[in-house]
Amino acid sequence: MWLPTGIVIGDKYKVVRLLGSGSYGEVYLGISTSTPSEQVALKVEKMLGKKHLLFYERTVYQSLERGAGDRGRIPQLKDYIQDFHYKVNIMVLELLGHSLEHWFHSCSKKFSLKTVLQIGEQMLENLRFIHDYSFTHGDLKPANILMGLEDNSNKLFLIDFGLATQYRDNKTCRHMKYGFGVRCWAGNSMFGSINDHHGVGRSRRDDLEALCYMLIYFLRGSLPWSGVRAANKRQVVEKIMELKLSTPIETLCAGLPVEFAKFLEYTREQLSFAARPNYIYLRRVLFRKLYSKSGFPWDGKLDWMEKEEPQPEPEISVFPSWSSMSS
């Protein structure tokens, strides 16, 4: 543990306990000293080294919060503190519930169509929101989607913007050029787009392709490239790319409603690099129409809520972008 429990950070937040840790960071439960009933998540990284990704992530949150009136999209950034005694950077965030990864495992690694359609619709809206503020997420996966608490317990929050990319100029709205931002692999290879594998600069279509893979994963319980093993991470990424390229869409979506194949075809084959996705079409024509056609009630309930389990213990992402390449 980098921070002892009981200490006060920046004269504002008391460290209660460690929530989790990863290769590059730790997350603690904290409480406000001025309002003890207010719990927060303290996301911490060491000051040592050249990469201070929390500072960049903070700037992304600040850009997005200009339009975050609807609290069902991203967690609220409450503060950013540098503690030179413990030599750490600390980002203070709204405390959220368990991740979709947690609930996926609690539901025997499969979600119902009803739950997947609700996840798809909410995530399309979340992605539209960050895209409209000129960012792509770049690391979409179940661990980076958290459920809200209390009144927001059925709302999905998109977190972890350490790998977010600004794809256009805020003033001119001019899209970056094709190929700009080519770099070594960053993010997760399980749900990353084919263009990501090829090293093409990220654009909005890549987030949607990643979302499609994730929804298929939720319905099937796995993807053809799940569990790939190799001598090193580079070879794992290469094998996953080969499987993505060699698996036809109709094979990947076999046995699923045709809407999922249409969604993947749209993201892979119809969207150009700089094109703005038709979010309304995807939400209404694909997801909502299928939801209604399937006869599901509009009750907002997700699979784990049907179990009538107690309120989950809060959780927040622990730098998953940097701790794993293929999960």
- C-beta of residue 124 within 8 angstroms of C-beta of residue 282: yes
CA 119 to chain CA mean position, Å: 12
CA separation for the pair 170, 179 (Å, rounded) = 19
Q: Is there a catalytic annotation at residue 79?
A: no
Q: DSSP letter at 251?
A: H
- C-beta of residue 130 within 8 angstroms of C-beta of residue 137: yes
CA distances from residue 239 to 56, 235, 244, 246 in whole angstroms, order as listed: 31, 6, 9, 11
307 a known binding residue?
no
Q: Which of 79, 83, 139, 160 is catalytic?
A: 139
CA 256 to chain CA mean position, Å: 24
CA separation for the pair 218, 41 (Å, rounded) = 27
- C-beta of residue 207 within 8 angstroms of C-beta of residue 163: no
CA separation for the pair 324, 327 (Å, rounded) = 6
User: Angle, nearest 10°, between helix axes 113-132 and 204-220?
Assistant: 170
3-state secondary structure of 122: helix
DSSP output for 202-213: P-HHHHHHHHHH
CA separation for the pair 194, 213 (Å, rounded) = 11
Q: Two tokens at 321?
A: 């972008």
- Alpha-carbon Rg for the chain in angstroms: 20
Active site residues: 139
- Give the residue numbers of the binding site: 43
- Give the residue numbers of the binding site for ATP: 43
